[in-house]
Structure 1
């Protein structure tokens, strides 16, 4: 099984992050699975919907490329899942979103979920995600740190900075747990991988979840189930497949101008 992992951080700006991400991926994937990491340049360095849409476009093009190069599945390793539905509408291989996969799995770990994102500008986007996934009754709160994505990269390879970010995160998560949250989700692949070094990370008994292995396992399961049943995503509604000429037009005119 061959999986394309689409990070929204490029190697040039996040080499240490990629090293830790690779450790997470190697620990999660089953024997016989290979996972190749691919980045986006310029990387997702600023928290804003405009950046999300710019990265989403490149991600969708890479999903098409992944299918054409023989990959069995794509994992979108970016919690905001920008472009996820559109990506599913252009390929027949499974496309797993980090945010969606993590939230859905955490529904089996607790009744009420909470998210702590890294920047307040992501909060409206997260609420849109939660509504799209039909989880408004399950994801009961979203709190935030005050970092840009690139700033947290500086905590990789620096134990003191990593612990500082963890402490700030825990302080934002604590009120959610006091309000009845059962599971805490870091709102991003960057903090998820950073916190993976802290064994049994929890806040007041509520586990802090690393969604990276969840997304990989869900991709493996999606591929296996497709092989077993022949079935993939619905081709009605959101995932109606775009005609070949529309897909080619998308790839040929990247500027949209």
Structure 2
């Protein structure tokens, strides 16, 4: 099995954190292949950046999806996720959705804990997008700046643990999700300091991608996630244009599955 781990921001060190956390839970024989966006922002933190990251995620998937059994969009707010499910035949897993659905199987209500205030409104809207408002005890975020996006989990570890414990005590959260791609792997390090289950989003997403690839769901030919009808494009990257226009790319190697 081969899974694409797609980071739609431009920080290779964050991709390395995501890949390391995913490698710890992947099944023997599964290959987890990381990819980092070549353009965009160092980390996605706002609605506008999420729109940009979503478009970049679609471009990256169009270019790289052939030959993969599933893909993970490894940004917590799931930029581009629903559009990707329209366009591509392989299962596409969002890190936020996978984390929240995992949390729902561990407790009644989950709390999302993250490292920057700017992320909170987008994350709350992501909860609503997935229809999980009633299961969410709240989104808590740290105030203040941080020195480096790739080192933020080490810099803010104690504060994040304290914030998670506040969510348990004050918001009555049954599960905590440590959210944001730069926090990948932190759940395993601090889980014994928080008195409820702690979910690592990339670990949940990678395991869910494996499950869906094993189940081999068919691409819907009806309903809202069927592949859209072909449409002409102007100025898009050729790989994405080929997907939208329903045409083969010259010189492209055929994959096991895909939208092209």
> TM-score interval w.r.t. the shorter chain?
0.7 to 0.9
| Secondary structure of 1:218's aligned partner | helix
User: By how many angstroms is 1:211 displaced?
Assistant: 1.8
Q: Give the aligned partner of residue 158 of structure 2.
A: 167
Aligned residues: 238
Counterparts of 2:212 and 2:233, CA distance in 1: 23
- Alignment of 1:186 onto 2:178: yes
| Higher relative helix content | 1
Alpha-carbon deviation of 1:200? 3.3
Residue from 205, 213, 217 that aligns with 1:223: 213
TM-score, normalised to structure 1, is 0.82
Task: Check conservation: 2:17, 2:184, Cα contact below 8 A.
Answer: no
What aligned pairs does 1:241-256 form with structure 2 within 5 A after superposition?
241-245=227-231, 250-252=236-238
> TM-score under structure 2 normalisation?
0.81
Residue of structure 2 in register with 1:240 after alignment: 226
- Contact 2:58–2:84 (CA under 8 A) maintained in structure 1: yes
Native 8 Å contact 1:45 1:148 kept in 2? no
- In the alignment, is the contact (CA less than 8 A) between 1:7 and 1:39 conserved in 2? yes
Which residues of structure 2 form unaligned runs of 5+? 241-260
Structure 1 spans left out of the alignment, 5+ residues: 157-161
Equivalence for 1:60 = 58
Contact 2:59 2:239 (C-alpha < 8 Å) held by counterparts? no
Shift of 1:20: 3.7
Q: How far apart, in 2, do the equivalents of 1:201 and 1:248 lie?
A: 53
C-alpha separation between the residues in 2 aligned to 1:147 and 1:234? 48
Supply the distance in 2 between the matched residues of 1:59 and 1:5 (Cα, whole angstroms).
11
Task: After TM superposition, give the deviation of residue 224 of structure 1 in Å.
Answer: 1.0
* Contact 1:57-1:83 at 8 Å conserved across structures: yes
Q: Deviations over 1:188-223 (max 9, x none)?
A: 121132x145153442x1222212221111111111
Counterpart Cα distance in 1 of 2:58 and 2:212: 19
Offset from partner CA, 1:156-184 (integer Å, 9 cap, x none): 7xxxxx1x411111222222111311111
- Classify 1:201/1:65 alpha carbon distance in 2 versus 1 (closer, same or farther; 3 Å): farther
* Alignment correspondent of 2:244: none
Does residue 114 of structure 1 match 2:114?
no
